[in-house]
Every structure is written in structure tokens, then in C-alpha cells.
Amino acid sequence: MTDAAKCTKVPFRERGQAPPIASGGFLLEEFSWERGPFTRCAKCGHEAMGILSAGGQLLTKRCTNCRRMVQIPLPELDKKAIYLDQFMFSMIYNVKNGGNLPKGHEAFAKEVYALLRRCVLLQQVFLPHSDIHHDETTVFHSPIDLRGLYEFFGGDVSVMDSRDVKLLQDIQFAKAYFDGNEPEVSLDIDEIADSRRNEWLPDMHVGVRADYSQFADHIRTVRSDVHDALKQLADTWVKNKASFGGVLESEFAAIGPTKGQAFANWLEEVSNPDPSDPLALFESSGRPIYREYRELCHLLEDRGVDEDNQAIEIMRFWHWERQREIPHQKISSYLFAAVAKRVVMGEKKIVDRGLINDVRTISTYAPYVDALFIDKRCAALLKEEPLRAELDYKARVFSMRDPDEFLEYLREIEGQTPDEVREYAAMIYGID
């Protein structure tokens, strides 16, 4: 990533410039690191106390005249996590770059752009980015710029990769199973968001421009394989006139066998490596199923289970009937059952290339984030019974079905910004 990674500095505001001074008949613009607004310096009395830097928990001010420096602790924050899907990020990208906006939603696009930016700069909101975005961004026409956009525009807080979130929940259930306790999963955003969530954004943003386009072909292939598999599944649903309850039950029943099979496949791969593909072995060491297996072995080791008995215990855990209560398993199974119902009713178009990622996004992140802006079709499924009554997650769900509802939500957050935070944000980021 050496050649592809370039550092760019994007100033939130222009650095300050002291007033021009006359020098031998020429006007020189004298550069200063401090920038406005300038206030009176307690030491020298000049109106020269400007902002030197801001970010984290501190605002640093310095006098351009006598160099006196003060550090001011910034108010504590509690930012809300608003997860936007790739469609929204692409739209924001197009507003920013004058691209095509979705027909009939031009006004919404511009307004949501302005409101989101404002909420982010008021330090009330961050727009987390995840591996699901990164995969989709890689196949976008301007991947580098789009990635830069959600790192810059969204307040640059990433959340754990979806597979790590799943693993986290699986491990919490495994502990309960091995110890004979009631499963407990903490769904606090801080479990999955990086620790800088509640820091003030730096007044200068430094982003690494990394080019991931070399992975685009691989991602396209994987996605079309998954899509083909799902289309086949949809045909089976139609042929068997599958019901919601039937598909839900078979999704749940498949958890243990699917994990067992995935593990057997992995074992097969590493036992008979393809000599023409040395990378394959390396790749298989990162497989989610292997990672889960290894973590579970550690748990069992800690509990004094010897190596010979670990595999059998893990198989038992994978077949535990309460696997279906693990949040990501439960939500994705309900969504697939709801999709199956629609497909059987003749709505085959619901199974498209984006569906898997939508299901992944919702089942992974809905329990943790404050709001999700997702595809219309999945938002509609979540509002149907029994999903509405039986699924339990924190996020408020928004979609293009009711764009005004989302704008209203953002205006509410905007309006609830504490005065002190608003004043500092105005000073640091230049918003009014």
C-alpha cells in the first residue's frame, strides 16, 4: 500500500492570516499558525489570542503576539451513531461533487447532506463505517474519494467488522453455554465502536488515501456467487411454497450443521493444500469459522477442558438450541424468512445483488446503533409482523420510503445540542 497511500490534509477552515504589513514597499501576507476568532490575550493585552489546534478533549489557544498558550478542556460528548447504507453515502458523494441525484429526491439529498454535516460538526453524531461499506466502496466508480468522504464527512469513527461483531456475540453465548449460565450480550455501542467516538474532531483532518481497487474483481466474484446461491434458494422456496414459519425454523435448524460443514470444509482445505495456490492456505487461516473455532478452544482451555475433548464440546455448542437467540442469528433468520414469504407471493425481484449486504448490515449493527438508514425493501420487512413484535434492537429504522421522517430526526438532534457545545463547535469548525 505504499504507492497507493498518499496523505492529504483537508482544512476545516483556512488557517488564520495576520493583517498584511508593509515591508520595503511590498505588502507581505504574514503567515501565522493561529487562526480566528481572536480574543484578548490576558498577558500582553492584544486581540491576538487565536486557535492553535483542537481535537480530542482539548482546545489549544495561543497568542500570535507574545506566544502565551492556554489549553481549555472541551465539554464531554455523547455522539449518536447513525449508520447510513452505501446508497446514502453515494448520494452524499454526488451532492458534494455535483453528480446526479436520485430523481424526485434532489431537494432531500441536499438537505440531508447539510443536516448530517451540521450534526457531525456539532459533535452530536458520527456516521460509522464498516467492512460492508468498504467492500461496496471498492466496486464504486471513485472508490478512493468515496472512502475519503465517509472518513472525513462522517466523523471518522469505524465500527468493528461485521464478522467480528458476530464473533463477539457468539463468544458471549459460548461462555454462557460452557459455564451453564444465562447468556448475556452487551449491546452498547462502545462494544463495537472505536474508542475515539466521543472525542472532538480535529480541526485538521488527515486522511490516508488508500487504493483498494485491486480487490474489486474478487469482491464482484464473491458477490455474484452469493447472489447465485440465493437465487437457487429462492427457487426452492417457490417450489416448496415455503411459509414464514417453515423457513424461520429451517434457518434456525441449519445453524449447527452449517457451522459444522464450514469447519469440515476448512479442515479439508488446510489438510490438502493446492500446491499451485500458496496464498490459499494463508487465506484459510483468516476464515471466520476457523477464528471462531480457535476462540472457542481458548475458552475451553481456560476452563480446563483438554485438547481431545474440545472439538466435541464446540460441536455441541454449535448445535445448542439457544444459538437462535444470538442477536445476529435471530435477526438474519427472521429477515430471510420474511424475504421467503415475499418470494413465494411472487415478488422475486426482492432477491437482488444488494440483499445479502442489507441483511448483514441490519443483523449486525441494528442492536448497537441509534439509527439505521437502509434500503426501502428491508425497512418495510422490519415493519411487518412478526418481525416488528419479535425482533428487539435499538436502532430507529429509516429509508427513502419516508425521507422527511429522517430529516425530522436529524433536526431534533440538531436542536438538542447543548449551548456550550454549540459555541465551541462554532468557534472551532466555523459553523454558525
- Per CB under 5 A, residues contacting Zn ion are 41, 43-44, 63, 65-66, 68
Cβ proximity to Zn ion: between 47 and 370 the closer is: 47
Could you give the angle at the alpha carbon of 210 between the alpha carbons of 205 and 213, nearest 5°?
145
Q: CB neighbours of 317 closer than 8 A, spacing ≥ 6?
A: 173, 174, 177, 178, 296
Do 371 and 398 touch, CB atoms closer than 8 A? Answer: yes
Q: How many CB atoms lie within 10 A of CB 78?
A: 9
Nearest distance, CB of residue 52 and Zn ion, angstroms = 13
Pick the closer one to Zn ion by CB: 37 or 245: 37
Question: How far apart are CB 70 and Zn ion at their closest, in Å?
Answer: 10
- Least Å distance, CB 53 to Zn ion, is 17
How big is the CA angle at 374 (ends 368 and 379), to the nearest 5 degrees? 95
CB of 56 to Zn ion, least distance (A): 24
Cβ at position 202, least distance to Zn ion in Å: 25
Give the nearest distance from C-beta 23 to Zn ion in angstroms. Answer: 22
**Smallest distance, Zn ion to C-beta of residue 59, A:** 17
DSSP 252-300: HHHHHHHHHHHHHHHHHHHHS--TT-HHHHHHHTT-HHHHHHHHHHHHH
Cβ proximity to Zn ion: between 44 and 226 the closer is 44
Residue with cell 423457513: 247
Count of helices and strands (H, E) across the chain: 16, 12
| Helical pair 376-383 and 327-344, crossing angle rounded to 10 deg | 100
**Rounded Cα gap, residues 97 and 80, in angstroms:** 26
Q: Locate cell 456539532: which residue?
A: 122
Separation CA 137–CA 153 (nearest Å) = 15
- Bridging pattern class, strands 125-126 and 80-84: parallel
**Grid cell digits, residue 346:** 411472487
Tell the smallest beta-carbon distance from residue 40 to Zn ion (Å): 9
Nearest approach, Cβ of residue 27 and Zn ion (Å): 24
Strands (E) in 31-139, as ranges, are 35-39, 49-55, 58-63, 69-73, 80-84, 125-126
Q: How far is the CB of 47 from Zn ion (least distance, A)?
A: 9
Quick one: 44 or 426, whose CB is closer to Zn ion?
A: 44
Using omega within 30 degrees of 0 as the cis cutoff, is the peptide bond preceding 37 cis? yes
Half-sphere exposure of 76 (CA within 13 A, CB side): 1
Q: Give the DSSP H or E segment for 413.
A: helix 403-415
